[in-house]
Structure 1
Amino acid sequence: MHWRRWRSQARTRIAATGPLQSLTIAELRLSEQPLTIDPHPHRRVRAWVRFGETPARVEAIVARWTPDAVGIRFTIGGASHRCWVWLGAVETI
């Protein structure tokens, strides 16, 4: 099996293990920090996310950010996902 297809199938199985985790409002501190929203998101990144307790590394698009966190969107198995992750969980590709 081609490795990309295998990785895609593995991510689809991981996504089924639990709900996608995201940073909380308290963690984001949006009332205390500036928020930038990209009107035309296009910056590609790799980011660590969690479905339930299971971590997965995904390719995503940066949609918004604060000094500490990044709001990303990505697709797994045809399903679109959005969440906030810590800045340290993101790598530009």
Structure 2
Amino acid sequence: MNDRALVTIARGAPPQTLTDVELRLDEVPLTIDPKPRRKVRAWVRFGSVPVRVEALAARWTPDAVGIVFQIEETEYRCWIWSSAADEHPS
């Protein structure tokens, strides 16, 4: 997807994120990387539009990944299912 289309999609709606019930942070272990550096390619939905972004895995549980990514100058953060992210080689 080209950058212009991604910017337009991101302006239309915030990225969807998993809910507290889905994350179960009070029940499962949570790992937080204080200096995220693990690159991933992740599927994210802005409204009903799925897009693939290059992101950093900032935190994770056994089932989910908290990612951070930028589109132009805006930083986005959201939780996705771990199966929606693939390791991205440097």
| Structure 2: runs of 5 or more not aligned | none
After the TM superposition, which parts of structure 1 deviate over 6 Å for at least 4 consecutive aligned residues?
A: none
Q: Taking structure 2 as the reference length, what is the TM-score of the superposition?
A: 0.93
Task: Number of aligned residue pairs: give it.
Answer: 88
Query: Match for residue 69 of structure 1?
Result: 64
Write the mapping of 1:1-20 to structure 2, written as runs, cut at 5 A. Answer: 7-20=2-15
Q: Deviations over 1:36-70 (max 9, x none)?
A: 00121101110000111111100000100000000
Query: Is residue 17–residue 54 contact of structure 1 (8 Å, CA) maintained in 2?
Result: no
Question: CA separation in 1, counterparts of 2:48 and 2:62?
Answer: 26
CA drift of 1:17 comes to 2.2
Q: Taking structure 1 as the reference length, what is the TM-score of the superposition?
A: 0.90
RMSD (Å), alpha carbons: 1.0
Question: CA separation in 1, counterparts of 2:20 and 2:67?
Answer: 15
| Structure 1: runs of 5 or more not aligned | 1-5
Which one has the largest radius of gyration?
A: 1
Question: CA separation in 2, counterparts of 1:41 and 1:19?
Answer: 22
